[in-house]
Chain A
Amino acid sequence: MSETTPVKNDGPTVTQATLVKKAAPKSDYKPADVSPQRRVQRSFAVRLWSIRHSRLLEWFYSRFADMFLLLHPLWRGIGYGRVEAPIKFVEKRVKGFMFDCRMCGQCILSSTGMSCPMNCPKQLRNGPCGGVRANGNCEVEPDMPCVWVKAWEGSQNMVNSDKILAVQKPVDQSLRETSAWLRVTAQAAAAREAAAAPKTGAAA
């Protein structure tokens, strides 16, 4: 027993988070949000895949947004308020699986190389902090690759790679747990209508 333990500790799989997990009693309360325990349970594999395929996802996302916009009469017909709950249900699960989405309700994935900035323990939306480790991992969560190092890599693969240069506004906390897809669609539809109205006026 005593012989196997040190061998196990030398292995590359033993991380800071695992040590924390081992030290904590099994019955301890585990907070639902970011914590070393949670990090161990979750693998970043899918999130990192999404970042590696940011160009594909960017293409897909723009088609998807167009499709949602086409369905605007449907959403309006049913009522944006009524359709919110089912869409949010789907959005939360799909984006949760793909990007570890935190449902901030104001998605900026296309400006951050498909790396969700809300996964940063400091929730930085404008770039990395100064504490990024030399190996490109997070200061707070030593096992996690820095969200912004990944965001930079992801954004460089994308067509609109300079969208990362935009200075983002602070998060509006009142939009948490709402559907970003529907909000973007409603805003795009409103903008389209506003643009169309003076045009018809000019033609007539």
Chain B
Amino acid sequence: MSARQRDENPAGIHLPLDPLPGHSSRGRLERVLRRGEFAVTTELNPPDSADPEDVYNRAKIFDGWVDAINAVDASGANCHMSSVGICALLTRMGYAPIMQIACRDKNRIAIQGDVLGGAAMGVANMLCLTGDGVQAGDQPGAKPVFDLDSMSLLETIRIMRDNGKFLSGRKLTTPPQVFLGAAVNPFAPPFDFRPIHLGKKIAAGAQFVQTQYCFDVPMFRTFMQKARDLGHTEKVFVLCGVGPLASAKTAKWIRSNVPGIHIPDAVIKRLEGAQDQKKEGKQLCIDIINEVKEIPGISGVHVMAYRQEEYVAEIVDESGVLKGRQPWKREIRRDDQMVADRLDHILHDEITETQVDMVKTAH
């Protein structure tokens, strides 16, 4: 309908973008980041169903507010639709998914196969994770695989992309063109090792990193200071993980039950003191975004609003991080629109059309 959007292939929204010099992928997220725009990514809550509509509906609420959507790979070691499956559906609809790959469930044979499969479907971004332990999820009796770790996984995909080879050295005919990501958690010990660890991830191939939930801005600032001193922020795009807390009770539960998430007492106190805790949680998230976006070396935010996905748009809007820019939005194409209008006309305007009449009006 409207003019073509900026990061869109004119031949079809599901197709990869034109290759650009200095870009390793043909996806939207890398373009946004390399243009120096403040990127916003989010996470799709994976459905426990085999219905593609569930994925489309969950992606739709982010339309026009985010640059990429993480397709999680059994996060928290709980069974859900696979990240490969979600990516297949999202790429069909033109979304830019970030395919998460966790080392918990697949060995190097399966992972390298999925990388090729994902890239073939048009997945331009892959995020390499170690994965939560199986004890955290709904199937604690499962066999933990952990054949690779996040670092060697990064290196494996980098070798596939840059050298066009499998880990074994066997050649690929077409290497996957992907933008490689990793996760960092500046909020867990050993604190002095964390910035150095980030450097290791960059050396292994990370081009962007998403952090764990940030609720302690001073701690994050210290981490970023060290990362800047080591020169890491020039080599990697850092997206700070943020998200709304539903209530003080949830915050306390997360703090004691979800490993690796650090929530300071001040945050819980602020939530407890609020009239409407849910609203305060959202406001807290916006305040944190406003603080972290000023930290030098931050290229974007990763908004994780588990089961509060409807707030992502409001949070992004109210924090004003996009500065008026509108990320790619799925729009109805002209032919789809014609069919929709026609159907609407037939179904709702009380008319009886005969084929003879139709021929007459056509002439």
Could you say which of A128, A148, A165, A168 contacts B199, with CB atoms under 8 Å apart?
Answer: A165
Q: How far is the CA of A125 from the CA of B153 in the complex (A)?
A: 12
Interface string of A121-148 (1 = CB under 8 A from B): 1111111111111101001100000101
Q: How far is the CA of A122 from the CA of B262 in the complex (A)?
A: 21
Is there an interface contact between A126 and B151, defined as CB atoms closer than 8 Å? Answer: yes
Cβ distance A132 to chain B, nearest Cβ, rounded Å: 4
Chain B residues near A173: list those with CB within 8 A.
147
Is there an interface contact between B133 and A131, defined as CB atoms closer than 8 Å? Answer: yes
Chain B residues near A122: list those with CB within 8 A.
103-104, 130-131, 133, 144, 146, 149
Is there an interface contact between B192 and A170, defined as CB atoms closer than 8 Å? Answer: no
Could you say which of A123, A127, A169, A170 contacts B197, with CB atoms under 8 Å apart?
Answer: A127
Q: How far is the CA of A165 from the CA of B3 in the complex (A)?
A: 50
B residues contacting the other copy or chain, number (CB 8 A): 38
Is there an interface contact between B132 and A165, defined as CB atoms closer than 8 Å? Answer: no
Is there an interface contact between B188 and A165, defined as CB atoms closer than 8 Å? Answer: no
Q: Does B259 contact A (CB under 8 A)?
A: yes
Is there an interface contact between A126 and B150, defined as CB atoms closer than 8 Å? Answer: yes
Q: Does A167 contact B (CB under 8 A)?
A: yes
Cβ distance B85 to chain A, nearest Cβ, rounded Å: 25
Chain B residues near A133: list those with CB within 8 A.
188, 259
Interface string of B147-184 (1 = CB under 8 A from A): 11111100110000000000100000000000000011
Is there an interface contact between A165 and B196, defined as CB atoms closer than 8 Å? Answer: yes
Q: For chain B residues 187-210, which have a beta carbon within 8 Å of chain A?
A: 188-190, 192-193, 196-197, 199-200, 203-204
Is there an interface contact between B260 and A152, defined as CB atoms closer than 8 Å? Answer: no
Could you say which of B103, B135, B190, B204 contacts A128, with CB atoms under 8 Å apart?
Answer: B190
Is there an interface contact between A132 and B150, defined as CB atoms closer than 8 Å? Answer: no
Q: How far is the CA of A127 from the CA of B203 in the complex (A)?
A: 13
Q: Does B79 contact A (CB under 8 A)?
A: no
Is there an interface contact between B192 and A152, defined as CB atoms closer than 8 Å? Answer: yes
- Give A149's nearest chain B residue, CB to CB: B190
Q: How far is the CA of A131 from the CA of B102 in the complex (A)?
A: 14
Q: How far is the CA of A165 from the CA of B196 in the complex (A)?
A: 8
Could you say which of B135, B188, B190 contacts A140, with CB atoms under 8 Å apart?
Answer: B135
Chain A residues near B41: list those with CB within 8 A.
none
Q: Does A153 contact B (CB under 8 A)?
A: yes
Q: How far is the CA of A123 from the CA of B144 in the complex (A)?
A: 10
Could you say which of B193, B212, B262 contacts A152, with CB atoms under 8 Å apart?
Answer: B193
Is there an interface contact between B190 and A169, defined as CB atoms closer than 8 Å? Answer: no
> Provided the pairs A136-B189, A170-B108 are in contact, do residues A130 and B152 lie with their beta carbons within 8 angstroms?
no
Cβ distance B128 to chain A, nearest Cβ, rounded Å: 11
Is there an interface contact between B149 and A121, defined as CB atoms closer than 8 Å? Answer: no
Q: How far is the CA of A170 from the CA of B166 in the complex (A)?
A: 13
Is there an interface contact between B259 and A131, defined as CB atoms closer than 8 Å? Answer: yes
Could you say which of A121, A124, A128 contacts B188, with CB atoms under 8 Å apart?
Answer: A128
Is there an interface contact between A132 and B133, defined as CB atoms closer than 8 Å? Answer: no
Q: Does B136 contact A (CB under 8 A)?
A: yes
Could you say which of A126, A140, A149 contacts B133, with CB atoms under 8 Å apart?
Answer: A140
Cβ distance A64 to chain B, nearest Cβ, rounded Å: 28
Is there an interface contact between A124 and B135, defined as CB atoms closer than 8 Å? Answer: no
Q: How far is the CA of A131 from the CA of B200 in the complex (A)?
A: 18
Is there an interface contact between B262 and A134, defined as CB atoms closer than 8 Å? Answer: yes
Is there an interface contact between B212 and A130, defined as CB atoms closer than 8 Å? Answer: yes
Chain A residues near B204: list those with CB within 8 A.
126, 167
Q: How far is the CA of A139 from the CA of B134 in the complex (A)?
A: 11
Could you say which of A123, A132, A167, A170 contacts B260, with CB atoms under 8 Å apart?
Answer: A132
Q: How far is the CA of A167 from the CA of B311 in the complex (A)?
A: 39
In this complex, the member of A124, A127, A128, A171 whose beta carbon has the largest number of chain B beta carbons within 10 angstroms is: A127
Q: How far is the CA of A108 from the CA of B204 in the complex (A)?
A: 18
Could you say which of A130, A136, A152 contacts B183, with CB atoms under 8 Å apart?
Answer: A130
Could you say which of B104, B189, B193 contacts A134, with CB atoms under 8 Å apart?
Answer: B189
Q: How far is the CA of A129 from the CA of B103 in the complex (A)?
A: 12
Chain B residues near A124: list those with CB within 8 A.
130, 146, 149-150
- Give A150's nearest chain B residue, CB to CB: B190
Q: Does B247 contact A (CB under 8 A)?
A: no
What would 20 A/B residue contacts be, using CB atoms closer than 8 Å? A122-B104, A122-B130, A122-B146, A123-B146, A126-B151, A128-B189, A129-B130, A130-B183, A130-B185, A131-B185, A131-B259, A133-B259, A134-B262, A140-B135, A165-B199, A167-B200, A169-B155, A170-B108, A170-B148, A170-B152
The chain A residues found within 8 Å of chain B, CB to CB, are 121-134, 136, 139-140, 146, 148-149, 152-153, 165, 167-171, 173
Kindly list the 9 A-B residue pairs having the minimum CB-CB distance in the complex, ordered from nearest: A130-B185, A126-B151, A131-B259, A139-B259, A140-B133, A132-B188, A131-B260, A152-B190, A170-B152
Supply 20 further A-B pairs (C-beta < 8 A) apart from A167-B152, A170-B108. A121-B133, A122-B104, A122-B146, A124-B150, A126-B151, A126-B152, A127-B193, A128-B188, A128-B190, A128-B197, A129-B150, A129-B260, A131-B188, A131-B260, A133-B188, A136-B190, A139-B259, A149-B190, A168-B151, A168-B152
